[in-house]
Amino acid sequence: MDPLTLVMLAVLAALVFFMFRNSRKRQKDLAALQAQMVVGAEVMTNFGMYGTILAIDEEANKVALEIAPGTVVQLHRQTIARVVEPIVAEPEDEGVAELKQGSATVMGEPDFGQRVADTDEEPKKGDA
């Protein structure tokens, strides 16, 4: 066989391999998402709406999503993009909390709207 034909067949085989691999990965991610979608889970939809799942209808592929207290919308199950994990805040040291509390005075920064001249130079043409 011609070397060019062998190279073309190798490239085709690589493309097919990567297509199957990507398909399996996508299926695995979808299965993991479906396993996390349970009643009471906090989720985000494809269009950026956050809410809590109240009910899941397997036959009709519908999800009852509460987006605000007392406001329930019916969505197709595939519009759920991801399950939102709660963010856990790390405890801060006392010294760091004190610095954050009074950062304007500790760092020597001016208050909002106040200007401080760093040098005795005259303002330049572009300075306001």
CB neighbours of residue 2 within 10 Å: 7
* Predicted local confidence at residue 10, as pLDDT: 95
How far is residue 128's CA from residue 109's CA, in Å, rounded to a whole number? 19
Q: How far apart are CA 14 and CA 10, in angstroms?
A: 6
pLDDT at 99: 57
- Looking at residue 100, its pLDDT comes to 59
Q: What is the enclosing helix (H) or strand (E) of 18?
A: helix 3-36
pLDDT at 24: 93
pLDDT at 125: 72
CA-based end-to-end distance of the chain? 76
The per-residue pLDDT for range 90-121, each reduced to its tens digit, is 766 665 555 555 554 555 666 666 666 555 66
Report how far Cα 34 is from the mean position of its chain's Cα atoms: 18
Let me know how long the chain is: 128
Element (H, E) at 28: helix 3-36
pLDDT of residue 116: 62
Beta bridge partners of 42: 52
Low-confidence ranges of the chain (pLDDT < 50): 104
Alpha carbon distance 40, 33 (integer Å): 14
18 phi/psi in degrees, rounded to 5:
-70, -30
